[in-house]
Amino acid sequence: MLRTEGLGYWYQNKDQPLFQQVNLEFEVGQSYAILGHSGSGKTTFLSLIAGLDKPREGAIFLNDRPLTEIGLTHYRRHEVSIVFQAYNLFTYMSPLNNLLTAMAITGASHAGDQDYARQILRDLGIADELMTRNVQHLSGGQQQRVAIARTMCCDAKLVVADEPTGNLDEDNTQAVIAQFQRIAHDQQKCVILVTHEPDVAAQCDQQYRLENKQFVRLAERA
Amino acid sequence: MNFFKRAWLNVWAKKGRSVLLILVSSAILMFVLAGLLIRSAAVKATETAKTNAGATVTLSANRQAAFKKMQSQSSSSTKASRPKLTLTPVKLSDAKNIAKLSNIKSYNVTSSTTVNAKSYDTVSTSTGMGAGGGPGGMKGSSQSSGDTQIDGVTATALTTAFTDNQSKVTKGRGITASDEGTNNVVIEKELASQNNITVGDTLTFKQTTGSKKTIKAKIVGIYKASSSSTSTGPMSVDPANTIYASYTLANTLKGSKYAGTADSVTFNVKNPAKVSATKRAGKQLISSKYSLSTDDAAYQSVKSSMNNVESFANKIVWLVAIAGTIILALIVILMIRERRFEIGVLLSLGEARWKIVAQFFTEMLMVIVIALAVAGVGGKFVGNQLGSQLVAQSTTTQTTSRSSNQPGGGQPGGSNGGNQHGAGGPDSTATTAAATKKANLEISMSAVDLAELGGFGLAITFLSIMIASGGILRLEPKKVLIS
């Protein structure tokens, strides 16, 4: 589904790239974890495959079409869904409106369908009475679940998440990881998580570690 | 059109910020509206002045030409036969031709003389010198002076003294065009009470020239001259001794050669703005023995005052609009900075940048609509306060300027003739007073003003959002969301 060819990125000095000649493939129905220490460039890699930035060298292909041809705005709107560590919800809206807004912007097939959005929130453990409250009144775990629900209600086949469990406790972390697994396996989407926590990474189907400017594939989950 | 919904949700969720924006926008729009209202009131006042302030064109003998003629004669004459200043009375036929001009509304024939009281006693005055010449001295040496001033007019209602309320009919009626050829007169209240005569009574006076016949006149009205019109110059009679009659009676009293003539004819013009054009057209119809002078002081005073007010109001509108745009732009810039994450999320969802700008514009538009309503209520009050201050200031400047430019309060009677109430002397004060009165601004709000305010509100909102949107257009979601 998603493929990188000779991908490279550096900030100021080409001689000091974050990564170089990265050739990876990501498929639907699978969850991937990108591991790496702070500053290794894993979040930058995520921003490239999320269409938030352009690579310095190489290219990214979605179903064999380069992103430059698809257009980054179109790609972000229809092909990819992003979950952030800081949730990044619309703080002046309720969970329900956050979902409806995302559905409207991305032109999802269920756009405008409140019942559908409510069901997704319900599935993620957001009680009905919380759905119409301002999101700022929700706990961190609840807000992250709303953020995940936002990716689920959109039709994008690619879900990328940047440290999605970074601000969560153990219970919420497990719940969120389980949810990502369901998205990958039940909804047949491609989930790519960027994390620095080996325990979280270990629960994904495949793991890559970014070290020495290269992505090293770790053992597949049994 | 999801940005409409987002805009509404944002405005509703952040009530405190929205109220603050409404207050700031209301203050800006209130001053813009005040400026617009003052401007349109000033334009309206100038338009009203065209019809109400009243400008006149006066046809009279050309004193300058007559003086030149006298000078040329004196150089060739002996001391014994020294030439006299001879002024040719205005022919009524010429006046009727001028009255046919399109801009002439009405005209008033003036013919004045003096007579000596016979059946009554004049009101005594300490400065009682004859009135034959008056300040302008039109009749000059051709007439002897009497103790009673006869002001022959077409109608008293058309004279400056009555139009400016310096004189007022208190009993009976004034002189009208129907009094032509009659001996009907209107006398002053003091003269009537001193002689115990009233409307319906008759009085007799004696000509000062020619056969010095005694004429009997019927009193049809009594008027009261206000003290402010009292002329105390050495060449004047007590105003109480001024009797109004038809100009035909005045001509009869002056002598048979004055039939069909007048000292002067004052034409009231329809549009004071075209008074100069009317004067030019009138000059084509008369000979050089006559002159046409204009008096549009009242109109010019109102016009000048209103031009100042209008110009100031324009400055208010533009200054407030520019300052308002800058203030709102700064507020929106700060607002956008604080919403960078929201913009980043919208961009990460694939929202078009123009739709994000449109969301901010819609939010401001919602604020502006409420601010427009608030400004609509408060703008009239601010306009009234500001307008009256401006007019007071402008009128004071006008009066000061007039006083310093024209010592003595105006030009003397000049060619209008000795007894003619012309543009000079006390009447000038009356004219200024009338002009000042007419210069009051009537601030009223119309749909056009509100529409114009709406336009300004829209433009201010649009510009402030456009200025602030530079940041949105340059914003990279990665820098906001992943850092």
Across B72-77, average pLDDT: 67
**Domain C-terminal end among B261, B295, B329:** B295
Interchain contact, B349 vs A89, CB within 8 Å: no
Both B315 and B287 in one domain: the answer is no
pLDDT at B312: 79
More confident residue, B80 or B226: B226
The answer on pLDDT for A164 being more than 80 is yes
Both B219 and B267 in one domain: the answer is yes
For the ranges A134-138, A218-222, B85-89, B356-360, which has the lowest average pLDDT?
A218-222
In Å, how far from its chain's centre is CA A109?
20
Residue B185's φ and ψ, nearest 5 degrees, are -135, 160
Both B290 and B309 in one domain: the answer is no
Taking residue A169's Cβ as centre, other Cβ atoms within 10 Å add up to 12
pLDDT at B145: 77
Interchain contact, A104 vs B10, CB within 8 Å: no
Determine the Cα–Cα distance for residues B12 and B187; give it in Å rounded to an integer: 77
Whether B48 maps to a domain, the answer reads yes
Determine the Cα–Cα distance for residues B409 and B423; give it in Å rounded to an integer: 10
Within 8 A of B10 by CB-CB distance, chain A residues are: 92
- CB of B10 less than 8 A from some CB of A: yes
Q: Is the dihedral of CA B6, B9, B15, B21 positive or negative?
A: positive
Whether B35 maps to a domain, the answer reads yes
Both B281 and B307 in one domain: the answer is no
> Beta partners for A196?
none
Tens digits of per-residue pLDDT, B398-456? 555 544 444 433 333 333 333 333 333 334 444 444 444 445 667 777 888 888 888 98
Within 8 A of A50 by CB-CB distance, chain B residues are: 348
pLDDT at B406: 43
Determine the Cα–Cα distance for residues B270 and B391; give it in Å rounded to an integer: 25
Determine the Cα–Cα distance for residues B54 and B455; give it in Å rounded to an integer: 36
Tens digits of per-residue pLDDT, B294-312? 887 777 777 787 778 778 7
Determine the Cα–Cα distance for residues B338 and B343; give it in Å rounded to an integer: 10
Both B24 and B114 in one domain: the answer is no
Indicate the average pLDDT of chain A.
Answer: 90
More confident residue, B228 or B349: B349
pLDDT at A150: 92
For residue B273, give its domain range.
56-61+88-295
Burial profile B277-308: b = 16 or more Cβ within 10 angstroms, e = fewer: ebbebbbebbeebbbbbbbbbbbbbbbbbbeb
Tracing tokens 């002046």 back to the chain, one arrives at: A92
Both B251 and B385 in one domain: the answer is no
Look up residue A57 and give its two tokens: 């060298």
The helices-and-strands tally (H runs, E runs) of chain B is: 15, 12
pLDDT at A211: 86
Number of domain units in chain B: 2
**Res. A158 pLDDT band, cuts 50 70 90:** very high
Interchain contact, B482 vs A162, CB within 8 Å: yes
Both B240 and B257 in one domain: the answer is yes
Determine the Cα–Cα distance for residues B271 and B296; give it in Å rounded to an integer: 10
Q: Which residue, B329, B308, B371, B153, is CA-closest to B242?
A: B153
Both B289 and B324 in one domain: the answer is no
Query: What does the CA dihedral B306, B307, B308, B312 come to, rounded to 10 degrees?
Result: 100
Q: Is the dihedral of CA A31, A34, A38, A43 positive or negative?
A: negative
Do B271 and B50 touch, CB atoms closer than 8 A? yes
Tens digits of per-residue pLDDT, B311-346? 877 888 888 888 888 888 888 888 888 888 889 899
**First vs last C-alpha separation in chain B:** 31
Across A13-40, average pLDDT: 90
Interchain contact, A52 vs B349, CB within 8 Å: no
Do B147 and B114 touch, CB atoms closer than 8 A? yes
Q: Is the dihedral of CA B217, B221, B227, B228 positive or negative?
A: negative
- CB of B9 less than 8 A from some CB of A: yes
pLDDT at B127: 47
pLDDT at B189: 92
**Domain C-terminal end among B295, B323, B340:** B295
Across B188-208, average pLDDT: 92
Determine the Cα–Cα distance for residues B371 and B377; give it in Å rounded to an integer: 10
Name every residue in A having a CB less than 8 A away from some CB of B.
Answer: 43-44, 46-47, 50, 52-53, 73-78, 82, 84, 86, 88-93, 97, 101-102, 104-106, 134, 162
Look up residue B249 and give its two tokens: 């009676």
For the ranges B70-79, B124-133, B158-167, which has the lowest average pLDDT?
B124-133
Query: What does the CA dihedral B204, B210, B211, B215 come to, rounded to 10 degrees?
Result: -20
Q: From residue B278, how far is each of A36, B53, B63, B265 by CA, in Å? A: 95, 17, 21, 14
Whether B72 maps to a domain, the answer reads no
**Res. A70 pLDDT band, cuts 50 70 90:** very high
For the ranges A105-109, B38-42, B136-140, which has the lowest average pLDDT?
B136-140
- E-strand ranges in B53-133 read 56-61, 90-91, 104-117
Determine the Cα–Cα distance for residues B122 and A103; give it in Å rounded to an integer: 102
What is the distance in angstroms between the Cα of A85 and the nearest Cα belonging to chain B? 9
Interchain contact, A76 vs B348, CB within 8 Å: yes
**Res. B137 pLDDT band, cuts 50 70 90:** very low
**Domain C-terminal end among B295, B327, B361:** B295
- CB of B348 less than 8 A from some CB of A: yes
More confident residue, A167 or B253: B253
Whether B326 maps to a domain, the answer reads yes
Whether B79 maps to a domain, the answer reads no
What is the distance in angstroms between the Cα of B13 and the nearest Cα belonging to chain A? 6
- CB contacts < 8 A, A to B, total 64
> Beta partners for B219?
B185
Tens digits of per-residue pLDDT, B227-268? 544 444 444 467 888 999 999 999 998 888 888 888 889 988
**Smallest CA–CA distance from B340 into chain A, residue:** A88
Indicate the average pLDDT of chain B.
Answer: 78
Both B278 and B135 in one domain: the answer is yes
**Res. A175 pLDDT band, cuts 50 70 90:** confident
pLDDT at B481: 80
